[in-house]
Amino acid sequence: MIHPYDDLPLHQSSAPLLHPTSDSAGLYDRYFFNGFDRDGQLFFALALGVYPNRQVMDASFSVVVDGVQHNCRSSRRCSTDRTVTSVGSIDVQVVEPMLQHQITVNDHHGISADLTMRVVSAVIEEPTFVRRVEGRVVMDYTRITQFVEWSGWIDLDGERIELGDLGDVQGCRDRSWGIRGGSRGLPGPATPPQFFWTWAPTLFDDMCTHLAVNDDAEGRAWHKSAAVTGRFAAGSRTIDEVTDAAQIHRPESVSTEIVWQSGTRWAESMTATITTADGGEIVAVYEPVQRFQMSGLGYLHPQWGHGDWHGELDEARDEIALADVNPLDPTMVHVQQLCRVTSGDTAGWGVLEQLVLGPHAPSGFTGVLDGAS
């Protein structure tokens, strides 16, 4: 099946662009965005995913206001033209690749938004995530991350939230594609889950840092990466400049130490140490001030999981009262925590994402979902 994009020099194989390179049900292509203000009160996020072998495109938008997380969920049949990145009332437009995107939500059960994202960092290409369990591909995907600033507004049931001047609300965005959940739905014996994941994009006034860690049950990292890059004014760089790999500094090593909240698998604090190539160290301390439940974007959600079939088009809205969440509910263990971050005399903001299932010896976790002592 031929698409107009086949007329562009973009091919990576002899197949037309619309032909998936894998028949895995876990094949996907996803956008993710988050944003937060500088006093830690406002937090919003959006995800849009394409699952070509499931014939599904879905999207979610969530905003936290006054301790309540409001979630908009949309799903539709994925047409052959995957360049149409609208799912019901949620739309993502790439205005300038790697530089500017626009998100609109058009009266999704009382929630609307018009948000423009402009980047303030170069593109960080994270090392490819590859994970096999007994020979089966569970993960094989690539992610890029950039730091951003936002402008625009959100309307929540008639109450308008203005984001203010560019720079008042900042955040990050990522793009990932490949295979996730490659063994999902396949026959075979059930095995207890084990997954340890931390991801911490962080903005300071003059630089941005990034780290990602996956551990096995014994605490051995099967994926670990870090990056440091400069921060620039939105709109001041070209696409060639933001994709120049020389803008990204790859540290020699990274280590993290997490103190867990008692009775949970959510962090009370984290200290990250990034050792640079010249032997210097960046030591950053993360202190959470706001929590965002990734369930609101479909992660681990029992009815609105990623790629689940909801017919030709379906939309729903729900709320999460954050103070009432059971931290060991398996659908709620996956979080992003907005953190104040200090590194020496320098202060910034970061998002500490965590998903910890099953045993993890360094943390003292021995069961599937036992909480910290």
Distance CA 325, CA 351 (A): 20
CA distance 134 to 189: 12
Spatial neighbors of 141 by CB under 8 A, at least 6 apart, are 28, 128, 129, 176, 177, 178, 179, 180
Rounded CA separation 304/308 (Å): 6
Residue 126 in 3-state DSSP?
strand
* pLDDT score for 184: 63
- Which pLDDT tens digits describe the chain residue by residue (373 residues)? 788 888 889 888 888 888 888 889 999 999 999 999 988 899 999 999 999 999 999 999 999 999 999 999 999 999 877 889 999 999 999 999 999 999 999 999 999 999 999 999 999 999 999 998 878 888 999 999 999 999 999 999 999 999 988 889 999 999 999 999 756 666 667 778 999 999 999 999 999 999 999 999 999 999 999 999 999 999 999 999 999 999 999 999 999 999 999 999 999 999 999 998 888 899 999 999 999 999 999 999 999 999 999 999 999 999 999 999 999 999 999 999 999 999 999 999 999 999 999 999 999 999 999 999 9
| H/E run at residue 260 | strand 253-260
Domains delineated in the chain: 22-183+193-363 (2.40.370.10)
- The strand pairing partners of 253, in sequence order, are 275
pLDDT at position 31 is 98
Question: Comparing C-alpha atoms, which of 86, 115, 82, 71 is closest to residue 16?
Answer: 82
Write down the pLDDT at residue 361. Answer: 98
Residue 80: the pLDDT is: 78
Three-state SS at 239: helix
Q: How far is Cα 59 from Cα 33, in angstroms, rounded to an integer?
A: 12
Whether the CB-CB separation of 117 and 262 falls below 8 Å is answered with no
The enclosing H or E element of 224 equals strand 221-230
C-beta of residue 157 within 8 angstroms of C-beta of residue 111: yes
In this predicted structure, what is the pLDDT of residue 185?
A: 61
Give the DSSP letter of residue 372: B
Return the DSSP state at 206.
S
Q: Which residues share a beta bridge with 356?
A: 196
Strand partners, 283: 273
∠ Cα 155 156 162 (to 5°): 40
Residues 173, 146: contact at Cβ < 8 Å? yes
Q: Are 109 and 317 in contact (CB under 8 A)?
A: yes
Q: Report whether 213 contacts 256 (CB < 8 A).
A: yes
Measured CA distances, 319 to 54, 71, 265, 356 (Å): 27, 6, 22, 23
Measured CA distances, 24 to 57, 111, 340 (Å): 16, 35, 40
